[in-house]
Structure 1
Amino acid sequence: MNLPAEPTPTPAPESGPPQPVTVRDRSPLPDVLRGLALLGILIVNVQDFAGFREWTQTGVDRAVQVVTDMFFNGRSISLFAMLFGWGAAGLLTRHGSGLLTRRLLVLLGLGTLHGVLVWHGDIISNYALLALVLLVTVRLSARALLGLAGVLGVYWLGSGVLLALAYQNSPRLRTAGLPDLTAGMTYAQVVAGRAATFLDDLIGGSLYNGPWLIALFLLGAAAQRSGLLTRPHEHRPLLRRLAVWGLGLGLPLGGLLAWLNTQPSLAAGLIAIPVRMGGGLASALGYVGVVGLLAVQGRLGPLRAFAASGHVALTNYILQSLVMTTVFYPYAGGQFGRWGAAPAVLLALGVTLAQIPLSQWMLRTWGSGPLEELVRTLVYGGRR
């Protein structure tokens, strides 16, 4: 992503306590992209909630899994991570390291509660911990951020490919990575299991995925430096290149991922990781290009509705976990392991689309989501 260089921004002097960005100050494009990312994240995460294995799907379930792999798997999470970096970089530029640190610590606490009390797949705590690295990037230009992201990304993807090659002749089968749930488990038993492994999972996940996630955060920070998402009309040529090259590379890699996910071997599972994330990044950049061009042309149409769910993304992300664990986990609906990809993805799509009018209602009624308001109060001390 070749962003034009700009003078390095420095935090403006503050005449009073820092204030959160208001609704009227927001550009719609980041919220639309974030809302679309939330849609894709739940479509992918429903596999973990519902407890099915990708490579065992057949018939309509397999067709749905192929669509998921080609258009969402690795794509939505890459887009979401870049937007997280974009938002953190903006906060750092406007208000400095102290306020960003407070926000990340609040999110770390909230993510920990989510990971222990609701769902083991929490990403908030992981993002909050790793995004502390952004504190040392405040004086880096967009070009420097892109260069550093490239080094980290190539290192992580290359390491994944080398690991897969080392196991190419292994007879072992891949593991699904699904939660260890059995019928009749109580909520207290599930929470106890998550609490026992949460810290190890957080540290292990941060060490393993850290270079890649930080690279995505840096790409988002570079977009913030250049104004790509807030002033897309100034970046039409770049948006066109992202759309063409991103989707031109990302969609074939999505097809390869779909094929790899039909294979039960350990080698296929290992090589699927860099294919998933490398292709996911390419497609995510392609989506930024396409949606950005639509925004410039004033042709977002129905996609603009996703701005509401993207505006209250934190509330919606946690709400998705609450709904899905209620349906599938043994202490509630007890459907874990009983659904294939097609009905599970249909449920995920329905939940995410239902969140759009719910988000619009929250914004009309309160101007924010309940968790966004909680974070704002803890970070800004209740000042409006």
Structure 2
Amino acid sequence: MTIPLPPAPDTLPPAPVAAQDRALLPDALRGFALLGIALINVQDFSGFRVWEQQGLDRAVQVVTDVLFNGKAVALFAMLFGWGAAGLWERHGLGLYVRRHLLLLVIGLAHFALLWHGDIIGGYAVSAVIFILLLRRPTGALLKWAWGLYLLSALNYVAGYSLYKVTPGSRISFSPDFAPHQSYASILADRIAELPSQLGSGLFLASFTIPLFAFGAWAYRSGLLSRPAEHRPLLRRLLAWGFGLGLPLGLGLAYLNTLDTEQAGMLSEGLRVISGLPVAFGYVGLFGLLSLRPRVPAALTALARSGRLALTHYITQSLVLTLIFYPYTFGLYGQVGAAAAVGMALLLALAQIALSRWYLRRYGRGPLESLLRWAVYGRR
């Protein structure tokens, strides 16, 4: 059976969306997702073990688990799918593939040079597979999104009885550095792991593609670009998203106090399961805030940060590895959740604050400019 191609692109030369034509809500959600990603990723950057936290550290861990763990990245993935659908419908297959191949190169460079937890390369791999769903009608796209999401969630928890329940068996996925390990040594290890990183991108697709599909549906329905037309849906997303997702987040926080392999693996599943409803809740909350007669200043500030998403994401890795990794200050494994999350929060807030100045002076971020030039042939 022949699958139809996307609508023919305009006869004018392809161009990115101009700054004055960008919708506020997607950028604001993207800026908020970046803040949440920094607060969660700092666990890996700093090397603290969630199940060992006590006192203030545990309180911080619980708050981040409930509000951001799995939620920020789910929101970010949906917005990636939203942007991918827009690119597909505006410019067609060729430019779509070109942009995501370039993102794959950026993601692999990020993985090798800075941090093993890169998601950009995995998203790029998923985006190529996602073409199969982008060719589906809007109604079918939403059905596929729900079906694949539920299948992915089931896959995470189906084998829970096979995991060890003995204390001390929990697996840490953070890197294991040698004392004072050099940057050259870490770089060599990462370069050797590049083939397996491509393979992990295929695994990542099992739960990113459903999120992409929700985002693509939001693009086609106008949920984020025309929120005034969807006020009742935004209210339902707010109520049901937080009503279902926040209690699930408490379950995740509880699992992250237990030092068993079973709790660790179940927490990975609950990250996925709780991530989507809370991400929907944030869409509802921010969507309704964007419809107020006077848009909150915080929303506008987050939108500026969202316009610099790629630059901010890579910068977070650069700054946090410089703070924690053994080839610089060597704080890896030396601080608890409160201190680490506090540092990440200060970094994320600084990025939000500086975004206004940067955009006024330069118009777009350095990595956004590079990608724009490589994809569209213009600065």
TM-score range, shorter chain: over 0.9
Does the residue aligned with 1:96 lie in a helix, a strand or coil? helix
| TM-score, scaled relative to structure 1 | 0.94
Distance 2:6 2:123 in 1: 24
1:347 partnered with 2:337: no
**Deviation for aligned residue 1:171:** 6.5
Pairwise mapping of residues 171-182 of structure 1 onto structure 2 (< 5 A)?
A: 173-182=169-178
Match of 2:226 in 1: 231
1:280 partnered with 2:275: yes
1:264 partnered with 2:293: no
**Deviation for aligned residue 1:172:** 6.6
1:309 partnered with 2:302: no
Residue identity matched to 1:277:
V
2:123–2:205 contact (8 Å) kept in structure 1: no
1:77 partnered with 2:77: no
Match of 1:45 in 2: 41
Distance 2:268 2:180 in 1: 33
Match of 1:104 among 100, 106, 115: 100
Distance 1:62 1:158 in 2: 28
Decide which moves more: 14-23 or 216-225: 14-23
1:43–1:345 contact (8 Å) kept in structure 2: yes
Distance 2:227 2:303 in 1: 16
2:290–2:299 contact (8 Å) kept in structure 1: no
Pairwise mapping of residues 158-197 of structure 1 onto structure 2 (< 5 A)?
A: 158-167=154-163, 169=165, 173-197=169-193
**Deviation for aligned residue 1:314:** 0.1
2:121–2:201 contact (8 Å) kept in structure 1: no
Match of 2:364 in 1: 368
Does the residue aligned with 1:305 lie in a helix, a strand or coil? helix
Residue identity matched to 1:377:
W
1:243–1:287 contact (8 Å) kept in structure 2: yes
Distance 1:213 1:185 in 2: 33
**Deviation for aligned residue 1:134:** 2.6
1:380 partnered with 2:379: no
Distance 1:202 1:228 in 2: 33
Count of residue correspondences:
375
1:141–1:222 contact (8 Å) kept in structure 2: no
Change (3 A) 1:171 1:207: farther
Deviation by residue 1:130-189 (Cα, 9 ceiling, x = unmatched): 111232334422221111111111111111111213326567711111112122111100
1:300 partnered with 2:296: yes
Residue identity matched to 1:241:
R
**Deviation for aligned residue 1:206:** 2.8
**Deviation for aligned residue 1:220:** 0.5
1:41–1:76 contact (8 Å) kept in structure 2: yes
Match of 1:254 in 2: 249
Match of 1:206 among 174, 193, 201: 201
2:9–2:89 contact (8 Å) kept in structure 1: no
Pairwise mapping of residues 148-159 of structure 1 onto structure 2 (< 5 A)?
A: 148-159=144-155
**Deviation for aligned residue 1:11:** 2.9
Change (3 A) 1:324 1:55: same
Unmatched tracts of structure 2, length 5 or more: none
1:291–1:300 contact (8 Å) kept in structure 2: no
Residue identity matched to 1:244:
A
1:305–1:356 contact (8 Å) kept in structure 2: yes
Does the residue aligned with 2:48 lie in a helix, a strand or coil? coil
2:5–2:93 contact (8 Å) kept in structure 1: no
2:65–2:252 contact (8 Å) kept in structure 1: yes
Does the residue aligned with 2:176 lie in a helix, a strand or coil? coil
| TM-score, scaled relative to structure 2 | 0.96
Residue identity matched to 2:320:
M
Unmatched tracts of structure 1, length 5 or more: 1-7
1:127 partnered with 2:94: no
1:111–1:122 contact (8 Å) kept in structure 2: yes
1:93–1:138 contact (8 Å) kept in structure 2: no
2:134–2:141 contact (8 Å) kept in structure 1: no
RMSD, aligned CA? 1.6
Deviation by residue 1:20-66 (Cα, 9 ceiling, x = unmatched): 11100101100000000000001000000000000000010000000
